[in-house]
Structure 1
Amino acid sequence: MTSPAFNHSHPLSPLGWNDSFAAELPEGSMPARVARVDRGAADVLAADGQHHITFGSRVRKAAADDPVALPCVGDWVALTLLAEGRYELEAVLPRRTAFVRGGVGRTSRAGLSGDGQGQVLAANVDIVFVAEPSMHAGDLADLGRIERLVALAWESGGQPVVLVTKSDLCEHELDGLVADVAAAVPGVDVHAVSAHDGDGVALLRTYLDGSRTAVVLGPSGAGKSTLVNTLAGHDVMDTALVRAGDGRGRHTTVHRELIPLPGGGLIIDTPGIRRVGLYEMTDGVDLVFADIEELAGQCRFVDCGHRGEPGCAVLAALEGEELTERRLASWRKLQREADWMASRTDARLRKAQQDKWKTIHKEMRRSGRNRP
């Protein structure tokens, strides 16, 4: 991935500030990077130190109209100095990348959640570390969850990297597990790591050369915070044991936070993700299932549904055991969800446009009545 041009003389260049962001900064404002967000305010890192900043009215209005516009960890923002001497968050600068999950609204349909809205988990991220524990509640890594998170990672614009964490707990089955994970996410780097033993940690540092930013995503109990603490060289995030029975973390990370690392680069730790809906997919799912997409292109019929049609290359691969039932079912599920979310998003945009025109027409009618 090619990084934008950096102004290495700028005090914020170690945090990722570059010429592209500088070009978007409103005149008279000061740049800062969001380290943490909490109920209408944010902790930001600026050239003169860390500040706790409230959101300006324009930012609040934009976020009310669309939750994706809400400032999030990793955002570059513009600060304005108010007359009383405090700063206010005036604007969010355009994002280079954004990891957005859908399904943050109410459940709308069995098996598919959300109302077309999304939530940005991290912005301006170069690397998306998808952390999946080698053993979780007594079971091996969840390949379906990995496929889902990697699809979102591709869609974000960042580079996905899968980490099979707690590799020290799965010594005898580890090689086979890593091979299975690699087969589930073609073209993606897969590494076995153990923060406990330090295995693979040095390799992860190579992804964060210079001022690159990574986010760590995965379920509770994946060892994300322990891994972040290991990379930071000291405890910057609280950690806890995993509960027996369900494998979930207990009193683990409850907020997202941007952490500059002593050796260079930055990392964002996140709470455990229990539900991750797809959001406005273009080719994220296709990239995860590139092998099936290639097979589908070899089917006799262009509109093949892969349900029993003659000359179906996908079903032929399934019968020849080149493709598993699990992977085919996962592909169909994510495609169906992506299509449904796209239809919900289209419906939301249509409604917003209709509401806009209703308001315009109402104002026109009112103006007409008020004419002398």
Structure 2
Amino acid sequence: MPAPSPDFTALRLIGWPYAGLPEDAAWSALFSLHPQALPARVSEQHRSGYVVADGPEAALKAESLPEWQKPRFPSHQRAAVGDWVLMDGKKIVALLPRHTAIKRGAAGEHYHQQVIAANVDTVFIVCGLDDDFNPRRIERYLMLVGGGGAEPVVVLTKADQTDYSEDAVETLAELAAQDITVCAVNAKDPASVESLHGWLGAGRTAVLVGSSGAGKSTLTNTLLGIDRMKTAAVRENDSRGRHTTTHRALIPLPSGACLIDTPGMRELKPTGEEELKESGFADIEALAAQCKFRDCSHQKEPGCAVRAAIEAGDIDEERFINYLKLRDEVAAAADKLAVRVAQANTKVGGRPAPKRSDDRYGRE
């Protein structure tokens, strides 16, 4: 029986990165192993299973691989929204390697990784210009994006509800100086959100991340041109929202791009794989490399380039304090990851353990 032929025109409308069959060697190898299977993209992820699509109007409930259902199977090795899989009928038979991934450390004491979205080009970090506005939390989101391969864009919503949107953008000037785009928009106004269209061309995929009530679903509805996603008002006393989005979903846009809407996340723990120089702290990392002492703690040591920049007003001290906090969290997570990889290697052999925290940042 000849191998079935995928509809690449339809697949490209949901982000397929090739004109025809994949040129990626790892992808091609899996196609060779499953010649009767067809590619599809994970559009929804639920506890009970997946919904996949092979075009903008197609949706199919899919049965996952049996090993994914084992309690101790690593969650980040299961398919996530945005992933490409090979389907044999209604069954997923292979997960195609990811080009990019946005991950976080899962809640709880034990080390686990959770994939927020896969194969995305852009991460829209959405923050409301009400009591939701928090530069330190924006930096934490940037930490999760750093090293994942996608471009971060900070989107400040509710610009129509405040006279201080320009001040908020100025507060994030140190991010803008590192070529991280910061946009202030009215998420309900199509003309206002046109500033985001440059990241939403045909074949591209973006994911929305941010707190509940920040305006992610409202922004999705405006970009779609229809009220598809449920929205709700935030509480007046603290601008906190309810979880109107209950699961991650990939949505084709009229522009030919795909948008992944996500529920609000309260815990934003690092995985240990993040690179802070790619997370909005490239300026601080560059200054740290100029300090007189390699193990400089940037407190009172002579010849500290970071402290000199803070005293000169070139670096915001609160941002620097947050950098130290995030750096320590990434280092601690990297140590846990190294232990996990070492344990796996003692069982099956394989790749070397990642760098430990003292290799990355020097001993202090």
CA distance in 2, matches of 1:238, 1:194: 18
CA distance in 2, matches of 1:243, 1:189: 29
Contact persistence 1:184–1:327 (CA under 8 A) = no
Matches within 5 A, 1:1-372: 10-17=9-16, 18=18, 19-20=22-23, 23=28, 24-25=30-31, 26-46=34-54, 49-61=58-70, 64-81=72-89, 87-102=90-105, 104-107=106-109, 115-136=110-131, 141-171=133-163, 173-184=164-175, 186-285=178-277, 287-355=279-347
Aligned identity (percent) is: 38
Deviation digits for residues 292-334 of structure 1, max 9, x if unmatched? 1122122122222212111111111222222222011011011
CA distance in 1, matches of 2:47, 2:7: 33
- Tell me the number of residue pairs that the alignment of Structure 1 and Structure 2 aligns: 333
Contact persistence 1:259–1:267 (CA under 8 A) = yes
Name whichever of 321-330 and 47-56 sits farther off.
Answer: 47-56
**Shift of residue 287, structure 1, vs aligned partner:** 4.3
Deviation digits for residues 83-135 of structure 1, max 9, x if unmatched? xxxx1111211001000011x1423xxxxxxx321100100000100001111
Query: Which AA in structure 2 matches 1:117?
Result: H
**Shift of residue 291, structure 1, vs aligned partner:** 1.4
**Shift of residue 282, structure 1, vs aligned partner:** 4.4
Name whichever of 289-298 and 217-226 sits farther off.
Answer: 289-298
CA distance in 1, matches of 2:279, 2:108: 29
**Shift of residue 10, structure 1, vs aligned partner:** 3.4
**Shift of residue 263, structure 1, vs aligned partner:** 2.2
Query: Which AA in structure 2 matches 1:49?
Result: A
Larger Rg belongs to: 1
Q: Secondary structure at the match of 1:343?
A: helix
CA distance in 1, matches of 2:136, 2:14: 34
Query: Which AA in structure 1 matches 2:292?
Result: R
Contact persistence 2:40–2:84 (CA under 8 A) = yes
Query: Which AA in structure 2 matches 1:106?
Result: G
Contact persistence 1:300–1:311 (CA under 8 A) = yes
Query: Which AA in structure 1 matches 2:112?
Result: Q
RMSD of Structure 2 on Structure 1 (CA): 2.1
Contact persistence 1:217–1:269 (CA under 8 A) = yes
Query: Which AA in structure 1 matches 2:9?
Result: H
Contact persistence 1:143–1:184 (CA under 8 A) = no
Contact persistence 1:195–1:226 (CA under 8 A) = yes
Deviation digits for residues 329-353 of structure 1, max 9, x if unmatched? 0110110000000001111122233
Query: Which AA in structure 2 matches 1:60?
Result: Q
Contact persistence 1:285–1:335 (CA under 8 A) = no
CA distance in 2, matches of 1:333, 1:339: 10
Unpaired stretches in structure 2, ≥5 consecutive residues: 1-5, 350-364
Q: Paired residue for 1:111?
A: none
**TM-score (normalised: structure 2):** 0.86
CA distance in 2, matches of 1:27, 1:9: 16
Contact persistence 2:148–2:274 (CA under 8 A) = no
CA distance in 1, matches of 2:279, 2:138: 13
Contact persistence 1:163–1:192 (CA under 8 A) = yes
Name whichever of 152-161 and 296-305 sits farther off.
Answer: 296-305
Unpaired stretches in structure 1, ≥5 consecutive residues: 1-6, 82-86, 108-114, 358-372
Q: Taking structure 1 as reference, are residues 89 and 65 closer, same or farther at Cα in structure 2, changes over 3 Å only?
A: same
Contact persistence 2:13–2:257 (CA under 8 A) = yes
Name whichever of 257-266 and 146-155 sits farther off.
Answer: 146-155
Contact persistence 2:144–2:274 (CA under 8 A) = no
Contact persistence 2:189–2:222 (CA under 8 A) = no
Contact persistence 1:278–1:338 (CA under 8 A) = yes
CA distance in 1, matches of 2:344, 2:75: 14
